[in-house]
Amino acid sequence: MLDKEMLLKIARTPMPFGKYQGRMLVDLPDEYLLWFHKKGQFPAGELGRLMQLTLELKIDGLDDLIKALKH
């Protein structure tokens, strides 16, 4: 089950490394999240869980709702 805290984290957590460093998780390109998924290895810990959830929300077309929480 989704809780408000996780959704807020997806909207307000910047990517801490890589090509998209500094970009909010909800704003990461689908292709970038799918690359982690296809590789079968999201980052460890909370960041990885948030990235997986972000991908699921994008697949379900709910990322625009999360973007509204950025501010």
Q: Pick the closest to residue 20 from 43, 49, 3, 46 (CA basis).
A: 43
Q: How far is CA 23 from CA 1, 10, 57, 70, in A?
A: 25, 11, 17, 12
Degrees, nearest 5: CA angle 34-39-44? 90
What residue segments make up the domains of the chain, in order of their start?
A: 4-70
Work out the percent of the chain whose per-residue pLDDT is above 90.
80
Helix, strand, or coil here: 32? Answer: helix
**61: which 2 tokens?**
């077309």
Q: Tell me: the pLDDT tens digits for 10-44?
A: 999 999 999 999 999 999 999 999 999 999 999 99
pTM of the model: 0.91
Structure tokens at 30: 């689908």
Query: Average pLDDT of the chain?
Result: 93
